[in-house]
Structure 1
Amino acid sequence: MSSRPPIPWRTGLSRGLTEFRQDFAPSRLAGQLLWPVATLAVMYWFRNHDVAGVLLGSIMFPSVLGMFTIFGAQLMVQYLAADRDDGTLLRARSTPLGIPAYLIGKVTLCTMTLMTYLAVIAIPGAFIVHGLAPMSLGRAATLCWVLLLGMAACQAVGAVLGAVVPSVRAAGYAALLLMGWIAISGVFYPITALPAWL
């Protein structure tokens, strides 16, 4: 009988998939999909409102996709802070290659969660929002790689913030910082419309 050395990629992916299945179990599905579905309902409600000759839905659609992508940073901060509080990180540190496997698992969980949220918003949103450019294969591919790159960047920021915050309460303050980041990032409105001091 030969024993293979532990591979953090395999362990982390397995852990992330298991946590994703638990988070999206039928008993927790309504809570997980509440915000994406509520956001989609708001987009539907405002889809035909005209603002300065532009349909509000066509402005909201990319903004909402960007907001949910940035939400990956907040997810990562919350997961790391909660797992530090309950001792999960300490247990991961005591196993061989536990921290890399743990981090890969959390990145997998965050990425799959965000992809689910984005799919719930983007697929129906593309049909209910008027004024969008027709989707071609090239545009769809560009949208996918930009969203994936944004998720990777935001989750990296979230991992750094999650490593710095000392408690779950401090993670709440970090979430406020991330909400401020979203507000001044130009995701919801053109950055040129912001005051000059920002």
Structure 2
Amino acid sequence: MSATAPTNRAATAAHPRLPSAARLGADRTGIELRAFFRERDAVIFIFSYPLIMMAIFATVFSGQDQGADGYGVPFAQYFLPGMVATGVMLTSFQSLAISIAVERDDGTLKRLRATPLPALSYFYGKIGLVLLTTVVQTSLLLVLAATVYDVPMPADVSSWATFAWVFVLGTATGTVCGVAFSTLPRSGRSATAVVTPVVLVLQFVSGVFFAFFALPSWMQTVASVFPLKWMAQGMRSVFLPDDAQALEVAGTWQHGATAAVLAAWLVVSLVVGVRTFRWRRRDDG
């Protein structure tokens, strides 16, 4: 017994136990954040885009209401939920789909794969980056809406609870979709050209820039397949009065359908991502 103890200690010294994947993921989050804030143009775009769009639309349509039959609300108040939803999509789906494609193209993923860093820790780092930046972005947007455009914030716990689960589930779905979609661009240079049009089209058909109930029925049907429409609708249930649900296509907020669609995209994207994610370029074996 005593003879084996020094042997075990020697083996441990020669092969020290690595920290857990979660611990390494937390460290990786710090690295991702530092790299993110070094890219000043990306930082400015991600944080300012929802604020600028909020300011433009709220100013242009100042004094106009969205709705009918007595359910109209100020445009800024109607516009806020869509901007919260699109901000989540930009920070999770678009940002990850582009950045991971670039990292694959410049060899970063290949080099990371050759280190002892577990694959899970790399993805934990991306999740931590998305979560922290999305929280900051959304907080700035809510402060702007409340202080500059007098958009009323929810006063009850149930509304904030709805906000929390739609925000968390929407962010998780956008993150996993971004990881899965990052395999599609053939190179880092083409990533922006491949990802950005998808985001723009979804913004226009999902009730972000226009009232969803005013869109053509075929456009509503197409948008209902994708997560952004449901994130925006879930956020409308938080920031609009209960009577405004009469403006929705189904006449209700459809919280169950929102959760189901977002969860379905999360699961499908996770399966696709696991099966198709590549650490190397297509021409690198």
TM over 0.5: yes
Task: For residue 150 of structure 1, report the CA deviation from its aligned partner.
Answer: 0.5
Task: For residue 164 of structure 1, report the CA deviation from its aligned partner.
Answer: 2.7
User: 1:86 corresponds to which residue?
Assistant: 106
Deviation sequence 1:66-97 (CA, Å, 0-9, x none) = 11011110011111011112211001111234
User: 2:200 corresponds to which residue?
Assistant: 179
Q: Which deviates more from structure 2 when the two are superposed, residues 40-49 or residues 173-182? A: 40-49
Structural RMSD (CA): 2.8
Distance between the aligned counterparts of 2:23 and 2:186, measured in 1? 29
Deviation sequence 1:162-182 (CA, Å, 0-9, x none) = 123221233221221122122
Percent identity, aligned pairs only, is 26
2:63 to 49, 52, 60: 49
TM-score normalised per structure 1: 0.83
Task: For residue 160 of structure 1, report the CA deviation from its aligned partner.
Answer: 0.5
Larger Rg: 2
Distance between the aligned counterparts of 1:114 and 1:134, measured in 2? 20
Structure 1 residue ranges without an equivalent (≥5): none
Question: What secondary structure, in the 3-state scheme, does the structure 2 residue paired with 1:163 have?
Answer: coil
- Report the count of equivalent residues: 198
User: 1:160 corresponds to which residue?
Assistant: 180
The residue correspondences of 1:1-198 to structure 2 (distance < 5 A) are: 3-24=16-37, 33-42=47-56, 45-46=59-60, 48-51=62-65, 53-71=72-90, 72-130=92-150, 132=152, 134-172=154-192, 173-198=194-219
Question: What secondary structure, in the 3-state scheme, does the structure 2 residue paired with 1:142 have?
Answer: helix
Instruction: Evaluate the alpha carbon distance shift between residue 23 and residue 57 of structure 1 in structure 2; reply closer, same or farther with a 3 A threshold.
Output: same
Q: 1 or 2 for the larger relative contact order (CA 8 Å, sep ≥6)?
A: 1
1:12–1:104 contact (8 Å) kept in structure 2: yes
Deviation sequence 1:18-57 (CA, Å, 0-9, x none) = 32245347x7765664334424533663574213543111
